[in-house]
Structures are given as C-alpha cells and as structure tokens.
Structure 1
Amino acid sequence: MPQGRYRVSDPEDGSPLGEERFHCAPGPAGWRYTGRLTAPDGRTLLTTDLTLDALGRQLRVELHAGGWQLRGGALDGLTWVRMAGDGTAPEEGNARATAFSGPSPGFLVALAALLRPDATEGGAPARARLVTVTAPALATRTRDESWTHLGAESHPTDSGPLVVDAYEIADLETGERHTVHLAGDVVLAAPGVELEDLDSPPSIFPPER
C-alpha cells in the first residue's frame, strides 16, 4: 500500500501551495486513494477520497475544501451532490460524462486507469468528457480532454524495474497541452505536482484486460 507525499505548487507561476500526503492501493472494489493537502502553515486545504472499480470507473468520489463538500460517482453518467461542510444547502448535479477530474494528483492516476490510452488502436488519443471540480469552492464544469500515451521507460531499482509511462493531456476547449509521468498508481511528475517521498514501490492498477 504505497503512501507518500506530493509537493503541490501553482502550475502557472510555481508558487508553493502545500503538500498532499496520500495512501493508495488496489483493494476488493478495485483501487482507492485518500489524500490530505495542507498549506505551508499547516491548514488543511483539501481532502480527497476516491474509489475505483476494477475497470477504473469512479464508484465514489468525496472531496472537502473551503467549507464545502462534494460527493459523487458513476450513476446515469456522473451524479453528485455539493453542499456546505455541515451538510446543509445541497445542490444536485448530473452530466453525461465519463469521469471526474479534480485538484488532487489521485485523479491523474484514476483517469489513466479508466482511459488506458496506451491500449487504443494505433496509439490514437483517448478522449473523454469530464466533470472538473475546482477548489476551494468545489465548483464543477464539464469539458473535453484527450490523453495520448507518449511511451514507457523502464528504470532499474533495488526492488526491480520501475516502468514510467508518459502521457500528453490536451484540453480540447483551450488547446492547452501538458505532460504527466506515472509509475503504476503514483504520479512522479505533472504540472504543479512533484513526488517528494514514497515508502514502498507503486502498485500496478488496473490489471491487464
């Protein structure tokens, strides 16, 4: 069960936002990720609890930030409820979308597991409609994104070869593109995200189809 720490910064100007301590592991349902993002002064900015099934579908998504909470999952597309932190003033939402994306690095692993762009015929990009959740208000918007597998490299380690996959992610609304590097269920590097500490090797998820 890998656990570690990501350093999180503003992807635009590089200013530090804090660090996210996380646990992630395959389990009976498929895969689960929990993370807590704290500011440099120790304040909790965001908590993330994300559960996938064996096919990478998001069974349960729960976020808390800025006095708000959002709970959702894959049901009739995507369904979610956003409410105040004390459970009052609930607002329901639904979209014909594939998955949630959000401010935690865990969502990058979840999307790679679901879309599996390296398995598409001829290396074509995998395209998905996403509901993106932004902190701290946990507001949502629907957008289209594509993932292209750029290749994989194997690196020797004391515990065996570490395979690192590189993906190009394109926002199909703005045309903005960026690259992320994943090793199993751990993000090694992405815009605004850098792995600083990991206590055990990454797990392999999802299993091969």
Structure 2
Amino acid sequence: MPRGRYSLHDPHDHTPLGEEHFHCAPGPTGWRYVAQLTSPSGDHSGSVDLTLDELGRPLRLELNAASWRVRGAALDGVTWVRTDPSGEHATEGNVAAHAFTGTSPAFLIATARLLRLTPGAPATRVRLVTFTAPVLAPRTLDQSWALLDRSAHPTDTGPLTVDEYQVTALDTGEQHSVHIAGDVVLAAPGIELEDLESPPSSFSVPVPDADA
C-alpha cells in the first residue's frame, strides 16, 4: 500500500498550493485512493476519496474543500451532487463524460487506468468533469492522451516500470508530460512526489468476459 506526500503548486507561476498526504491500494473491486490536503500554512484544506472499479471507472468519488462537498460516480456518464457550505442546498449534475478529473494526482492515475494505452498507439480522446477549487465548481473538458514510452528502471526492490504520457488540452492545444509508476505519479505539472514510504502497487489485467 503506497503511502506518501505530494506537494502541489501552480503549474504556471509555481505558487505553492499545499500538500496532499495520501495512501492508495488495489482492492477486490479495483483501486482506492484516500488523501488529506493541507494549505501552504499547514492547515487542513480538504480531502479526496476515490474508488475505481477494475476497468478504471469511478465507483465513488468524494471531494471536500472549503466546506463544499461533491459526491459522484459513473452513472449515465458521470453524475454528482454538490453541496454548499450551509448544507441547505444541493445541486445535481450529469454529463456524458468518461470520468472525473481535478488537481489531485489520483485523477491522473484514474485516467491512465481507464484508457489502458499501449506505447506508440494513436492518442485517445477523453471527456472529463473537473471540480475547480476552492468551491468545487464543475467544468467539462476534453483531453487527448498518448503513451509515449514505457521503460523499466532498476531499484532495490526490483524493476520499476514507468509510463510517460503526453496529455493535450483540446480547447487550448497546451501539452504536458505525466510520468506514472503503478499507482503513483512521479512527475506532472503542478505535482511533485516528496515522500513515498513503500513502492507503487501494480495493477492486474482484468480477464475479458467470455460472453462479451
């Protein structure tokens, strides 16, 4: 079970945004990621709880930030309920999208898991719903993902397979690289892995349904 800490910053001007203290692990239904967020001053600023099924689809998502809360899942696309700080008013949303995304490294793992790309294959387009801080306002966006390279790096515990993705924002054309090992993000814009207590977990490959 990987456990560690990411530092988060603005990918454009590098302003510190805080830290994300996480643990994650594959399980009987797929994969779960749980994290607590702190502000640059060290105060608690939110949380992330994401569970994927074995195909990478979001079974359950819960985000908390600035007293706002979002709960969502893959249902007729993706569906969510967003609750205001007073708790008196809740709004529902539904979009014909593939999954959720956001500033947490968990969403990069989730998207890579969902797409299951192979090195050198054409880029794949994906529609995602993100929730922007600090009020978790929903926004739909389109990206394309391509797996540029898969390489093995020697470590004390055995070879570590690292995938390098190229992610393109289709509304602006902006491109960036994401490096992932198992269920840990090693490098991405605005994300730095500061501490990792145990090696990344590897995902098993689901067996296709013989009736499919």
Alignment TM class, shorter chain as reference:
over 0.9
- Rounded to whole Å, the distance in 2 between the matches of 1:93 and 1:206 is 32
Q: SS of the residue aligned with 2:108?
A: helix
Partner AA of 2:26 in structure 1:
P
Question: 1:64 touches 1:85 (CA, 8 Å); kept in 2?
Answer: no
Structure 1, unmatched stretches of 5+, are none
2-structure distance, mates of 1:177, 1:167: 10
Work out the CA distance in 1 between the residues paired with 2:48 and 2:56: 17
* Pairing of 1:190-205 with structure 2 (within 5 A): 190-205=188-203
Is the alpha carbon distance of 1:206 and 1:73 closer, same or farther for their aligned partners in structure 2, counting shifts above 3 Å? farther
2:37, 2:204 → 1: CA distance?
Answer: 25
Residue 184 of structure 2 corresponds to which residue in structure 1?
Answer: 186
SS of 1:112's equivalent in the other structure is helix
CA contact under 8 A between 1:125 and 1:146: conserved in structure 2? yes
Query: TM-score, length-normalised on structure 2?
Result: 0.94
Q: How has the CA–CA distance of structure 1 residues 206 and 173 changed in structure 2, closer, same or farther, with 3 Å as cutoff?
A: farther
**Which of 160, 165, 185 is the aligned partner of 2:158?**
160
- The match for 2:35 is 35
Structure 1 equivalent of residue 144 of structure 2: 146
Unpaired runs of 5+ residues, structure 2, are 208-212
Structure 1 Cα separation of the partners of residues 204 and 102 of structure 2: 20
Give how far 1:206 is off. Answer: 5.1
Q: How many residues align?
A: 207
Q: Residue 123 of structure 2 aligns with which residue?
A: 125
Contact 2:152 2:161 survives alignment (8 Å):
yes
Contact 1:116 1:126 in 2 (8 A): no
Check if 1:111 corresponds to 2:111: yes
Displacement of 1:40 in angstroms is 2.3
**Pairing 1:67-82 to 2, within 5 Å after superposition:** 67-82=67-82
Is contact 1:180-1:187 (8 Å) kept? Answer: yes
2:54–2:206 CA contact under 8 A, matched in 1:
no
Runs of 4+ in 1 over 4 A off after TM superposition: none
Superposition CA RMSD, Å: 1.3
The structural deviation recorded for 1:18 is 1.3
TM-score (norm 1): 0.95
Q: Distance in 2 between matches of 1:198 and 1:149?
A: 24
Separation in 2 of the partners of 1:27 and 1:94?
27
Q: Which amino acid aligns with 1:20?
A: E
